[in-house]
Structure 1
Amino acid sequence: MTSPEIDTNSSRLVGSPTARLDRLPTTATHIFWILILGMGYLIETFDNTVFSYLAPSIRSEWNLSIESVGLVSSAVFVGMMIGAIGGGRLSDRVGRKPVLIWGSIFYSATSLMSALAPNFEILLLSRILTGIGVQAATGVIMVYVSEMFPRLSRGRFFAVMTSFGFIASPIASFTALAIAPTGVGAWRWVFALGTVGVFIAVAVAVGLPETVRWLVLKGREAQAAAVVERLEAKALRRGELAPIQPESPVVKQGSFRELFKPQYLQRVTVLGLTFAGLIFCLYGFVSWMPTVLVGRGMTKAEALSMASIITLGSITAGPIIFLVADRIERKTALLVEGLIGGAALVTFGFATDNSVMLIAGFVAQFALSANSTTFYTYIPEVFPTEVRGVGAGTVNGFARIAGIASGILVAAMYAHMGATLLYLILGIGLVLVGLGAFRFGPRTTRRSLETISPE
């Protein structure tokens, strides 16, 4: 097959939309898109994590047990499991853009429901519903970046996008620190901040096109070509484009059953188990940190202050991942991050000095954030376009079961074993996550999505 050619006189570019998309350099349009997606991810992560920083205040005001706090922590993961699988399948059917718009509107409404909750039961229900909207939107964001951004810098764009999410935890913790102690019910105002997701829905509706790969999958070649042509026009202002690689075979609409084919079943299993392990460790650490610190003798204000400083570790992960994301293999990064994070979690558990706890917690937060970034880059890459939404959604949904278990089991482990053994188990678990991904995961870094999928 001969390579498509460029007619430099008319600037008309010949070739499949996906092949033309893959060879493009970064343009200002890509930067604009990642800002919208990043802000969406920031708000979704804020909604997802804010309860952990409000838990001490709500527990005190409503006289809740540790087990009740664990139920609320698990509730959001019940919703996230539904949102991951349902949102992924829906995005394969109706498109990435509609699911992102309506998911953002939905979680904004349920955040307001959390803010107005009159009792524990309504708060529990609102967190389940928030989880559905948050994960439906987040899952589509990951797929969108995977499908629409340049092949050679895809990992860096994921690092930029998830850096917005890393900022969310410090924002949630410092906001809770500033507002929650000001009076009875003040925590409600923090939940209400999640309603700004409606502005993301508007930005997506106005500023983002449907993904080229989804349009091609649905046979809407003209629309896909129009999106690519706009990107090419901007890229050509900076010079000649790279040659188009040999075109990939035309994809067809897939189904959930496709995931049980041998070439995909191993990927679903490996990524489902390892990502589930990360989610268990991540939320076992982040969601319970303020409560554990109070249990170690700190006041609520002291615990929130230390937790807020520790969350800054997530911000440092973004720039570092940006520098190395497309230089080292994804599964190698998962191994290194797992080893560093595991050691930090164990140290945090055994520490008796506040300074050691602070440093170990900071490093653990950094490693866990880096690990989640790598996973979010990695997961959509290993599935073909026709099942990318449902494949990534299934892996995410499977992992959310670990989130549900984390809220319940970590509460029981903490109540019966104490913090030291709890963090020892979490640390060992994170090391096993890295080892599993490194041993059994496929290579994806700097490769076209179409060349990864058939392997």
Structure 2
Amino acid sequence: MSGGAVETTPDDGTAASADGPRLTVAARLDAVPVGAWHWRITLLAGLATFFDLYEVFLGGVLGSVLTEQWHLDSNGKALLVGAPFFGMFAGAVLLGRAADRFGRRPLFMLNLAGYSVSSLLAAFAPDLTSLIVLRVVAGLFLGAELPLVDTYVSELLPGAVRGRFVAIAYTLGFCGAPVAALLGGQLVAERDLLIDGWRWLLVFGGVGAAFVWVLRRSLPESPRWLSAQGRHAEADRIVADVERGAGLAPVEAGQLPESVPESAESAAPLRELFRPPHLRSTVMLWIFQVLQTVGYYGFGSLAPLVLMAKGHDVVHSLTYTALSFLGYPIGSAVSILFIERIERKTLVIAAAAAIAVFGLAFGTAESSAAIVTAGILMTLTQNIFSNAFHVYQAELFPTAIRGSAVGIAYSLSRLTGGVLPFVGLAVLDEFGATGMFAGCAVLMALLCLDVAVLGPRTTGRALESVVRK
């Protein structure tokens, strides 16, 4: 292509150029008033996060239930809890890259379909080995789900409300945590219907994901991604539909506010992650994802087993866990109120420090009231933390590599999550709950230092400008 920008005029009359459509799509999306379309996108994205998080927290429930039924040793419990994380590690890398290559929407559909089938098959697993294998496969399809939600919602929502709507999507998703523990507590109490009670937990996930898959068929492709691929006419049609739905006439390029165009490169190579201006953010996010897993999933996936180690039986452990997990959707909902008012990196650091404090309180708690109170406070702050960093990580990279950058970084959290049960249960056996949560507190302090030193400021900025800071 020669040096000068070639002016063209698409069928709808919108002014465009070689760089223009990319600028036009981004600016038009940011200029559309928030309305029913934005809510529908957010709710459909959020419904599927429910099953990713349900699957993550299901590991601890199954581990506590099957310890007695299948006489699991420490390694068996660790494998059962960690299995989906190993699948998620591979899925986050492979499917995250596929989302940059083939689009956001096809991967949304593939993720849910694959998870639904594998979860239903796992419900009828005859032994531990087949159950672990099928949970790895389920994790494979869910691996890119949360990073893809971060990417997709961030690309379609205006910068001024981007954080709030991502938090709304995750508030729906985090209802999966107490549901997994509550259903587990009810279904293991010898209330079987045709099949063992714990198998219904997997049926619930598979059937629910299939239902959401049907609803998700109406999702459009990300116009920002289409534009980055050079598919400007498709991107323009989607944005024009959004504008008409908001009661606006399709905007002409000359009427747009000044913005920063993205790179014209449609499929940036991964080596761009390790070059300025992205290297600093890449290093920060990789360190962050390894450390946040311990503080976040260390509690969520091991809480029932920690309580059993304290001497509580399986039913009481799952009841206390379910009550503690109520903090997940509550914390996510609370974050909506101020996620746009506090700089993202500051909110991440403050919430991480609170997680360390409340984790220590949970580790030392003895009475049921103290256990539940510390658990709720910890899960509440965990989801303020989680929503802030999910928005944050999607704001750090340009469209051409956003899915890959977030997916690869997030895969490190999944790999750490797979190893965590082996290390965590060993530490729990050796040093008790207090020692385990003390170690988590140290790692969260390191996380705070990482974000403080290397993390950029992003709140309220257009995606096209953040990546150049």
* C-alpha displacement of 1:342: 0.8
* 1:413 aligned residue: 427
* 3-state SS of paired residue (2:457): coil
**Counterparts of 2:75 and 2:279 in 1: how far apart (Å)?**
36
Alpha-carbon RMSD across the aligned residues, in angstroms, is 2.1
* 2:279 aligned residue: 265
Q: TM-score, normalized by length of structure 2?
A: 0.91
**Counterparts of 1:51 and 1:399 in 2: how far apart (Å)?**
16
Q: Is 1:200 matched with 2:212?
A: yes
**Counterparts of 1:43 and 1:13 in 2: how far apart (Å)?**
43
Q: Which amino acid aligns with 2:400?
A: E
**Counterparts of 1:70 and 1:353 in 2: how far apart (Å)?**
27
Instruction: Output aligned runs, 1:96-115, within 5 Å.
Output: 96-115=104-123
- Ranges in structure 1 where 5+ consecutive residues have no aligned partner: 1-9
Within the candidate set 151, 171, 174, 1:166 is matched to 174
Q: Is 1:226 matched with 2:226?
A: no
**Counterparts of 1:317 and 1:245 in 2: how far apart (Å)?**
36
Within the candidate set 391, 396, 403, 2:417 is matched to 403
Within the candidate set 27, 38, 59, 1:51 is matched to 59
Query: In the comparison of the two structures, how many residue pairs are matched?
Result: 445
* C-alpha displacement of 1:444: 0.8
Q: Is 1:299 matched with 2:313?
A: yes
- Contact 1:82/1:397 (8 A) holds in 2: yes
Q: Which amino acid aligns with 2:122?
A: S
Within the candidate set 61, 72, 81, 2:89 is matched to 81
Going from structure 1 to structure 2, the CA distance change for 1:72 and 1:369 (only over 3 Å counts) comes to same
* 1:346 aligned residue: 360
1:18-62: CA deviation from partner (whole Å, max 9, x where unpaired): 121122221211111111111111122112221212222111111
* 3-state SS of paired residue (1:208): coil
- Contact 1:87/1:139 (8 A) holds in 2: no
* 1:248 aligned residue: 261
Instruction: Output aligned runs, 1:13-92, within 5 Å.
Output: 16-92=24-100
Q: Larger deviation: 427-436 or 39-48?
A: 427-436
Q: Is 1:388 matched with 2:373?
A: no
- Contact 2:57/2:177 (8 A) holds in 1: yes
Structure with higher helix content = 1
- Contact 1:280/1:405 (8 A) holds in 2: no
* 3-state SS of paired residue (1:133): helix
Q: Which amino acid aligns with 2:235?
A: A
* C-alpha displacement of 1:64: 0.2
Within the candidate set 207, 215, 221, 2:226 is matched to 215
* 2:186 aligned residue: 178
- Contact 1:97/1:210 (8 A) holds in 2: yes
* C-alpha displacement of 1:263: 2.2
- Contact 1:334/1:438 (8 A) holds in 2: no
* 2:133 aligned residue: 125
- Ranges in structure 2 where 5+ consecutive residues have no aligned partner: 1-11
- Contact 1:48/1:134 (8 A) holds in 2: no
* 2:467 aligned residue: 453
Moved >4 Å (runs of 4+)? 10-15, 240-243
* 3-state SS of paired residue (2:174): helix
* 3-state SS of paired residue (1:50): helix
Q: Which amino acid aligns with 1:227?
A: I
* 3-state SS of paired residue (2:189): helix
Q: Which amino acid aligns with 1:204?
A: R
